[in-house]
Structure 1
Amino acid sequence: MTTTSRAVPGGPGRRPERPQLTERQEERRRRILKATAELAGLGGFDAVQMREVAERAGVALGTLYRYFPSKVHLLVATLQDQLRQLQETLRKRPPTAAEPGARVAQTLMRAFRALQREPQLADAMVRALIFADRSVGPEVEVASRLTSAIILDAMGAGGRPTPEQLSVARVIEHTWHAALITWLSGRASSAQVRTDIETVCRLVGAPADRP
């Protein structure tokens, strides 16, 4: 699930762009994503079948495919939706730690606790990222940029993050993804995830020694 993190154009506070939809189209899209999250939450990746999603969302199967060409596209879009919800929550209740690294750790652990409450959904979204091929590249990029924006917001990077801040966010994002994969595969405990996240945030948050 390695992705390339990039800053959101205009700074971490701005949302990545997606095509403008009419009010009716947006409402339909919301129903589709809600149905996807519900099915994934019940049975994980395998439970998300396009026909079942269409039936639960109350849309024609052909309509669903016009919005999302495959199950992987659909689940990556669901991940984007979850990240946007997290971003809104964090704006209302931002992390409170004094140090940037500690704020990022607080943010990611808040996200991790949410994933722990919905492990099947978490597994489905992570699997979608792993299975994504080039055709899903733009959608994966949006998810990566949202993750970067959340991390940069917690760092207090402002509207124009520096190259060093972008690099720090990228390293933290890679560690976050790896920690999720090892946890979902049963190769790491929740405590280990916390330790890894806090460690990387502490290490990359410390000022580098320069000659």
Structure 2
Amino acid sequence: MPAEASSASSSSPPLTERQEARRRRILHASAQLASRGGFDAVQMREVAESSQVALGTLYRYFPSKVHLLVATMQAQLEHMHGTLRKKPPQGDTAAQRVAETLMRAFRALQREPHLADAMVRALTFADRSVSPEVDQVSRQTTVIILDAMGLENPTAQQLSAVRVIEHTWHSALITWLSGRASIAQVKIDIETVCRLIDLTTAEARTE
């Protein structure tokens, strides 16, 4: 994969300022198209036209629509993280803060259901070739959760709890998008799984 591609390995050189600006335009165009019509509305030729890049250039950055939409989700989570940092969660415990954070992120996606559906479908369709983009989504979600917990050096047990919380949040998003869960049920599930944080924190204190 070319060095410019978003899925480049960590050993690849960083993007130049011009390349980064081009990548941002592509991701913005992807999000705009997905917001209007969901997964099927994101056509690579239209993304190229909207972002004012050549189609071949677009494919060098993102080899497929799935690569593009998973990268779009990472960008959306990064934007959410910035918003959350400006107004941190106010819960008394780490579990409460993480639950509040994830519900705020969930409601942000709820405001753009077509975009949310497109990104989640892309994650579901992702095969091994999309692993770098999927890993970026997971890392961004982990950073959001750890920030809410207020942890810089989590234990192995705490990281395990974070992974379970990520899986639950993703599953809750899928069930809500498919109409199989209400917002109230999502909130209950998120609050329930976040209690793992307090359990692992208590265990870390006794070690």
Both proteins in one fold, TM over 0.5 = yes
Identity between Structure 1 and Structure 2 (%): 72
Structure 2: tracts of 5 or more residues without a match: 1-9
Matched, 1:177 2:170: yes
**2:135 maps to which residue?**
141
Q: Is the 8 A contact 1:45 1:127 kept in 2?
A: yes
**2:6 maps to which residue?**
none
Q: Which runs of 4+ in 1 moved over 6 A?
A: none
Q: Equivalent residues in 2 for 1:66-81 (5 A)? A: 66-81=60-75
Matched, 1:166 2:159: yes
Calculate the TM-score normalised by the size of structure 1: 0.87
Calculate the TM-score normalised by the size of structure 2: 0.89
Q: Is the 8 A contact 2:142 2:166 kept in 1?
A: yes
Higher mean C-alpha displacement, 18-27 vs 169-178: 18-27
Q: Is the 8 A contact 2:94 2:197 kept in 1?
A: no
Query: Aligned equivalents of 1:179 and 1:72: distance in 2?
Result: 21
Residue by residue over 1:117-146, the C-alpha shift from the partner in whole angstroms, topping out at 9 and shown as x without a partner, is 000000000000000000001110111111
Deviation at 1:21, TM superposition (A): 1.1
**2:45 maps to which residue?**
51
More relative contact order, 1 or 2 (CA 8 Å, 6+ apart): 1
| Structure 1 pair 69–93 and aligned structure 2 pair: CA distance change class (3 A) | same
Report the RMSD for the aligned CA atoms in angstroms. Answer: 1.8
Matched, 1:189 2:182: yes
Query: Aligned equivalents of 2:128 and 2:154: distance in 1?
Result: 28
Q: Equivalent residues in 2 for 1:72-111 (5 A)? A: 72-111=66-105
Structure 1: tracts of 5 or more residues without a match: 1-16
Query: Aligned equivalents of 1:75 and 1:166: distance in 2?
Result: 26
Q: Is the 8 A contact 1:183 1:190 kept in 2?
A: yes
Amino acid at match of 1:194: K
Q: Equivalent residues in 2 for 1:149-164 (5 A)? A: 149-158=143-152, 160-164=153-157
Amino acid at match of 1:55: E
**1:11 maps to which residue?**
none
Secondary structure of the structure 1 residue equivalent to 2:63: coil
The structure richer in helix per residue is 2
Amino acid at match of 1:190: I
Query: Aligned equivalents of 1:52 and 1:70: distance in 2?
Result: 13
